[in-house]
Structure 1
Amino acid sequence: MSFGKAITLNSGATIPQIGLGTWLSKPNEVENAVEIAVKNGYRHLDLARVYQNQDEVGRALKKVIPSVVKREDLFITSKLWNSSHKPENVEKELDETLAQLGIEYLDLYLVHWPVAFAPGQGLFPKHPSKEGEVDLDLSTSLVDTWKAVIELPKTGKVRSVGVSNFTIEQLKGIIAATGVKPAANQIEAHPLLPQDDLVEFSRKEGIHLTAYSPLGNNLVGKPKLTDYPVVQEIAKKLGATTAQVLVAWGVYRGYSVIPKSVQEGRIISNFKQIELSKADYDEITKIGHAQHTRFNIPYNYSPRWDIDVFGEPEEKNATNKVKIQ
C-alpha cells in the first residue's frame, strides 16, 4: 500500500502531503472516518480543539494503534484555540488535547487563529455589551502567544510548532520578535484563493503551507469548485474525480492538502494522488484570475468576531485589528 509523498519541514520533521481533515464533521462521524482513513493509507490527521471531536479521534486511534500502525507512523496535528492565547494557558490546553486523544505527543501544534478571545468563558465567550459578538482579548499579542508556543517542543509533548490563518504581516511580526519561524502555516487555499504573495513569502522563509478547504466551500449562492467546467473537463480527461484534480492543484503548488470527508469512497479516492500537467494546472489557476473568493472570514461568523484578520472587503467595518506585538 502506498502511503503517499512526504515533505520535510524546517524543524526536520516530515509531513505526509495528503491528510484527513476533521473540521465540520457531524458527531460520531469522525471516529469512523479516521479509522477508514488510517486503514487505507492515510498517515496525516488534522485536528483541532474547537472542532469538538477530538475524543472521537481518540477512540479511533485506540482502534488503529498498534493493530494497524505504530504511533510514530502517524503525523497528528492539532491547534491551540483562541481562548487559550494567554501564555499561562498554552500548555494547559495542549495537555487537554493530548488527554482527549489519548496520546503522549503531537507532531505539529498550530496557533489556530491570529485572534485572542477572553479566557475562561468557553470556546466562544459572549461579549458583555455587544449582542452576537465574541468577547475578544485585546491585551494578549501574537508575540506573547508565539513565545509560549515555541517553548512547547522542549516539553516533549510537541515535535513541531506553527500557525494557521496567518498573513505575511503577522508572520513577519512573530519572526522578528522571536527569531523563530513557524514550521507550517495552515491556510484556506484553492484555485479561487491562490494567495500568490503568501506562497512566495513562505517559500523564501522555509515555512510550509498546508491547504484546508482545498475544494472550496459549499456556500449558498456560490458555485462549487467541483462544478467549474474546466475542473470537470480535466477530471474526465484524466479519469479522475473533480476532488482529486483540486487536491492535485494544491500538491502542484507544494502544499500539503487536507481534504475532509466522512464517506468511505471519497476518503479513499481523495488519497489517490494524480499528477497535473503544467497546462492543466495553468487552466485551473485561471479560475482565480477571474475572481477572488475567501470563504472563511471570521467577521461573517455567528457569533461575529469584530476583527480584521485578512484585510478583505467584508472586514472593512471591523473596529479591531490583530494585535501582533
Structure 2
Amino acid sequence: MSAVPVAPLTVRVPIAEGVEIPQLGLGVFQIVPDQVQPVVEQALATGYRHVDTAAAYNNEAGVGAALRASGLPRDEVFVTSKLRNGEQGYDSALRAHADSLERLGLDRLDLFLIHWPNPSAGLWQETWRAFERLHEEGSVRAIGVSNFLPEHLRELAATAHVLPAVNQVELHPTHRRAELAALQRELGITIEAYSPLGQGADLAIPAVEDVARARGATPAQVVLRWHVQHGHVVIPKTTSPARLVENLDVDGFALDATEMARLDALDAGNRIGGDPATFSISQIR
C-alpha cells in the first residue's frame, strides 16, 4: 500500500476527437490466460478504468470475462488490443480485429494498435489502411501503433488519412526515447509507455530511491509520477493487489523541476524488449 495518503489517479488524456484515455491503466502482458480474469477484476474493483491487452498475449478472453463480471457499464472501461505481426495485411487485419472482438465479447474496441512495424513483412502500410477503415466504420474509436520508430511515424504522417492517436513504446527513465518523444509531440501522437518501471530495474537506482524517501512514496510511485508529469499514458503490469493500489495512487504529490531533471538524467538507452527495427516474430502460436 502507498505510504502517501493520496487519491487514485483518474486523469484522462484526449487522444482523438471525442476519445479520452485514462492516463494510468493496467497492462496484462505475460499474465497467463487462467490468471488474467481475477487480476483484471481486482484492478477494476480498485479503480482502474483502462485495460491494455493484445491478441499475442492470448488472454483477451479472460479480460472480456473480467469486464462482464465487474458489472461496470461498457463505456466506463477503456479497452485496448493489438494486432499480431502474423496477421498484418489489409484483409487479415480486418479478420483479426473481428476475432479480437469475439474473444473479448465486445462490439467495438476503444483503441486498436499495430503491435510492431514487423519490417521483414513489409505490410504495416496496407495494415494501416485497414485500420483507417475500421475507424471510419466505427468499430474502433481510435487507432494507433506500437513500437514504431521515428521513420515509421514520418512515413505515416506523409501518407495516412488518419494519424495514429497513440504510439505505445517501451519507455522508462533509463530508456527515455527523447527523439521519438519530441517527434510525437510535434505530430500530436500521444506517448503510451509500456515497461514503464523498466520491468523493475529502474526502481533500485539510487536517484529514484532518494526521491522516493524525500517524497514519502515508493520508488514505483515516483517513476509513475515522472511519467504522468511528462504527459505519458502509462500501463504498469502487476498481479499483486497491493501493487495495483500502489501504482494507481500517484495523484497526491508532484515532483519538482530538480527531481524531474534528476530522473531525466538517468537515460542510458537501456532497452529491455525487442528492437522494432528487426523484431518480426509472427506472434501466432
| Superposed pair shares fold, TM > 0.5 | yes
Structure number having the greater helix percentage: 2
Q: Distance in 1 between matches of 2:213 and 2:36?
A: 30
CA displacement 1:97-145 (0-9 Å, x = unmatched): 11111111110000000016xxxxxxxxxxxxxxxxxxx53xx432111
Q: Distance in 1 between matches of 2:261 and 2:35?
A: 36
Report the 3-state secondary structure (helix = DSSP H, G, I; strand = E; otherwise coil) of the residue aligned with 1:294.
Answer: coil
Q: Distance in 2 between matches of 1:270 and 1:163?
A: 25
Q: Distance in 1 between matches of 2:60 and 2:28?
A: 9
Shift of 1:76: 0.6
User: Retained in 2: the 8 A contact 1:32–1:262?
Assistant: no
Shift of 1:3: 5.6
Correspondence 1:95 to 2:98: yes
Q: 1:98-109 residue pairs with structure 2 within 5 A?
A: 98-109=101-112
Q: Distance in 1 between matches of 2:96 and 2:104?
A: 12
Name the structure 1 match of 2:283. none
Shift of 1:296: 0.8
Q: 1:314-325 residue pairs with structure 2 within 5 A?
A: none
Name the structure 2 match of 1:191. 173
Name the structure 2 match of 1:36. 42
Q: Distance in 2 between matches of 1:181 and 1:27?
A: 32
Q: Distance in 1 between matches of 2:160 and 2:263?
A: 38
Correspondence 1:216 to 2:195: no
Name the structure 2 match of 1:227. 204
Shift of 1:28: 2.2
From the CA coordinates, give the structure whose radius of gyration is larger. 1
Report the 3-state secondary structure (helix = DSSP H, G, I; strand = E; otherwise coil) of the residue aligned with 2:113.
Answer: strand
Name the structure 2 match of 1:22. 28
Q: Distance in 2 between matches of 1:102 and 1:26?
A: 19
Name the structure 2 match of 1:276. 255
Name the structure 1 match of 2:55. 49
TM-score by length of 2: 0.90
Correspondence 1:79 to 2:58: no
Count of residue pairs the alignment pairs up = 272
| Corresponding letter in the other structure for 2:142 | S
Q: 1:131-280 residue pairs with structure 2 within 5 A?
A: 136-137=120-121, 140-217=122-199, 224-273=201-250, 274-280=253-259
| Corresponding letter in the other structure for 2:231 | G
Which consecutive unaligned segments of at least 5 residues does structure 1 have? 117-135, 219-223, 299-308, 321-325
RMSD: 1.8
Q: Distance in 1 between matches of 2:52 and 2:85?
A: 17
Higher-RCO chain (CA-CA 8 Å, sequence separation at least 6): 2
Report the 3-state secondary structure (helix = DSSP H, G, I; strand = E; otherwise coil) of the residue aligned with 2:197.
Answer: coil
Report the 3-state secondary structure (helix = DSSP H, G, I; strand = E; otherwise coil) of the residue aligned with 2:209.
Answer: helix
Shift of 1:275: 2.2
Shift of 1:11: 3.3
| Corresponding letter in the other structure for 2:82 | K
